[in-house]
């Protein structure tokens, strides 16, 4: 029996910092036609574009990203993009649940770093290595 196919799509972009998730999300948004959200949005000043991460507010950033995604789904926006690291499976779960609730197809894409640019968040190579060790790709 074939899987149910819905008309609306949720695209989850995952990858390490500096892989190009934000750039790809912007591209997939078709010049802002479709919304794209990230945990990083919470820490980015809308006026200046300055990024200031505060670990103490990380839970609020995750919640905001989830709520914005849910609100877009409630409006039945046909394509929504979320671009976070998603290095641990539980980080994806809330989006799978939202997609089921609002009947969205889910596409999970891993963005790999095949360019020479550094991550804009000043994450050290040691920290990136730790993140990479936790990263699991589900192929089956």
| CATH number of the domain enclosing 107 | 3.40.50.300
User: What is the pTM assigned to this prediction?
Assistant: 0.86
Predicted pLDDT at 76: 97
Kindly state whether residue 127 falls inside one of the protein's structural domains.
Answer: yes
15 in a structural domain: yes
* Rounded Cα gap, residues 25 and 34, in angstroms: 10
The count of other CB atoms within 10 Å of the CB of residue 6 is: 14
Q: How many domains does the chain have?
A: 1
In a domain, 1, yes or no: no
Count CB-CB contacts under 10 A for residue 74: 11
In a domain? residue 80 = yes
Residue 81 lies inside a defined structural domain of this protein: yes
pLDDT at 59 (0 to 100): 95
Look up the domain containing 12 and give its range: 8-134
* Residue at 140 is within a domain: no
Q: What is the pLDDT of residue 103?
A: 96
Q: 96 lies in a domain?
A: yes
pLDDT attached to residue 11? 98
The DSSP line for 11-80 is: EEEE--TTSSHHHHHHHHTTTTTS-EE-GGGGGB-TTT--B---GGGHHHHHHHHHHHHHHHHHTT-SEE
- Characterise 117 by phi-psi region: left (phi > 0), alpha (psi -120 to 50), beta (else): beta
Reading the chain (140 residues) residue by residue, the pLDDT tens digits are 345 667 999 999 999 888 899 999 999 999 999 999 999 999 999 999 898 989 999 999 999 999 999 999 999 999 999 999 998 888 999 999 999 999 999 999 999 877 666 666 677 778 877 877 777 777 66
In a domain, 48, yes or no: yes
Give me 38's structure tokens: 């990230």
69 to 75, 81, 104: CA distances (angstroms)? 10, 8, 11
């Amino acid at each position: 029996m074939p899987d149910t196919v819905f008309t609306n799509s949720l695209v989850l972009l995952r990858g390490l910092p500096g892989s190009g998730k934000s750039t790809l999300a912007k591209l997939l948004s078709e010049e802002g036609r479709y919304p794209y959200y990230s945990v990083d949005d919470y820490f980015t000043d809308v006026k200046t574009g300055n990024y200031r991460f505060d670990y103490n507010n990380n839970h609020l950033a995750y919640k905001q990203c989830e709520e914005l995604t849910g609100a877009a789904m409630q409006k039945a926006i046909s394509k929504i993009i979320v671009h976070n690291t998603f290095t641990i499976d539980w980080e994806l779960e809330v989006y799978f649940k939202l997609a089921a609730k609002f009947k969205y197809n889910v596409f999970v894409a891993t963005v790999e770093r095949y360019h020479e640019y550094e991550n804009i968040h000043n994450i050290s190579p040691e920290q990136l290595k730790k993140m990479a060790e936790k990263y699991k790709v589900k192929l089956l």
